[in-house]
């Protein structure tokens, strides 16, 4: 039984599909199936019920999968220890990132991830906050990039930067002020993201609105198009804006802002990758957003996100 075979077993248990597990492991489906069969022959019992769709892990199989996860974690630690003595980090790392950050951050760092982390296999997924936290708990992902503070006992928060909220006005708006307060925006219908997005609840909190907004959407781009039609206003993360416009106006000082952090479960050991990834992210974020001193940090409501 090999480390690679254990990875195949864990993947099949996770995805409940030979095709999806093979895709995740970057191998052909027949290869994955053959290797799992070899493990079953070696152990003398079936790990998975192939007659079911999706595939079901047997009772004995669940015990093997749990042990396989522990073994893989310890094996990864050995590789990480070895990597501490090398100039370049190596290994596998999976990251979950909220959509309102990924839309500008991933394009900014992707090329550098390929060159500066050439020996690291990154797997990056856009996910809402609660899903990231669930996957961190189950160890399906290693790191999360999301809005904080969360104040969860077994989650470590590593703040990166602080991003202001700005107001996006419709074309026919008469506001020409250099900054806005609540009195400037309370007369406009507010358009927000859907329930699964923490940005939605932060927007409602900033605008002192507890009731449902006029329109809710799963996409910032959809909200912007609706604002363009003159239906209302929306709030945007400052770093997602590619160019300046009279229709994009900051708030009065202190500007409301969200704290963006790298988060991980206690016991995380891939510290070399974490340190270098932190440095890379900060290199593409303007220095004026590295400190929270001039901002009013808007918290995250996990019971609603």
Here the CATH number for the domain that contains residue 79 is 1.10.10.10
* pLDDT tens column, 36-73: 999 999 999 999 999 888 999 999 999 999 999 989 88
CATH of the domain at 238: 3.40.190.10
The count of structural domains within the chain is 3
Residues in the chain where the model's pLDDT stays below 70? 80-88, 174-176, 209-215, 303-305
- C-alpha 278/C-alpha 283 separation (Å) is 9
Range of the domain at 198: 162-245
Residues 221 and 268 in one domain: no
Indicate whether 166 and 238 sit together in one domain: yes
d(CA 300, CA 147): 7
Q: How many CA atoms lie within 13 A of 103 on its CB side?
A: 12
Q: Where are the beta strands (DSSP E) in 113-265?
A: 120-126, 143-148, 155-168, 190-193, 215-217, 233-237, 248-250, 255-265
What does pTM read for this prediction?
A: 0.75
Which of 33, 55, 84 delimits the end of a domain? 84
Residue 121 lies in a domain: yes
Residue 122 bridge partners (DSSP): 93
- pLDDT (tens digit, 9 = 90+) per residue, 128-150? 999 999 999 988 899 999 999 98
Q: Considering 52, 84, 116, which residue would you say is the last residue of a domain?
A: 84
My answer on whether 66 and 100 are in the same domain is no
**Co-location of 35 and 45 in the same domain:** yes
pLDDT the model gives residue 85? 56
Is the same domain home to 139 and 214? no
305 domain-assigned: no
Q: What is the pLDDT of residue 60?
A: 93
Task: Verify that 267 and 153 share a domain, yes or no.
Answer: yes
263 within some domain: yes
What phi, psi does 304 have (nearest 5°)? -120, -10
Asked whether residue 176 is assigned to any structural domain, the reply reads: yes
Last residue in a domain, options 37, 58, 84 = 84
């Amino acid at each position: 039984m090999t480390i690679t075979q254990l990875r195949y077993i864990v993947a099949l248990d996770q995805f409940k599909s030979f095709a999806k597990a093979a895709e995740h492991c970057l191998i052909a489906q027949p290869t994955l199936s053959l290797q799992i069969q070899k493990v079953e022959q070696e152990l003398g019992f079936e790990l998975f019920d192939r007659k079911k769709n999706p595939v079901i892990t047997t009772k004995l199989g669940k015990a093997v999968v749990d042990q396989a996860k522990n073994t893989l974690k310890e094996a990864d630690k050995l590789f990480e220890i070895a990597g501490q003595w090398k100039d370049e980090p190596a290994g596998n790392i999976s990251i979950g990132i909220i959509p309102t950050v990924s839309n500008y951050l991933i394009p900014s760092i992707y090329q550098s991830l390929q060159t500066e982390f050439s020996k690291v296999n990154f797997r990056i997924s856009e996910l809402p906050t609660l899903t990231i936290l669930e996957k961190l708990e189950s160890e399906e992902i290693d790191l999360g990039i999301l809005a904080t503070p969360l104040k969860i006992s077994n989650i470590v928060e590593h703040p990166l930067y602080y991003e202001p909220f700005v107001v996006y006005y419709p074309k026919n708006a008469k506001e020409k002020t250099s900054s806005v307060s609540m009195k400037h925006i309370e007369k406009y219908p507010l358009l927000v993201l859907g329930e699964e997005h923490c940005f939605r609840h932060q927007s409602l909190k900033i605008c002192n609105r507890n009731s449902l907004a006029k329109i809710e959407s799963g996409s910032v781009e959809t909200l912007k198009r609706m604002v363009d039609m003159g239906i209302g206003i929306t709030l945007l993360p400052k770093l997602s804006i590619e160019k300046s416009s009279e229709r994009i106006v900051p708030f009065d000082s202190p500007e409301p802002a969200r704290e963006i952090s790298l988060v991980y479960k206690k016991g995380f050991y891939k510290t070399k990758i974490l340190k270098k990834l932190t440095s890379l992210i900060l290199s593409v974020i303007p220095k004026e957003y590295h400190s929270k001193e001039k901002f009013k940090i808007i918290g995250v409501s996990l019971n609603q996100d």
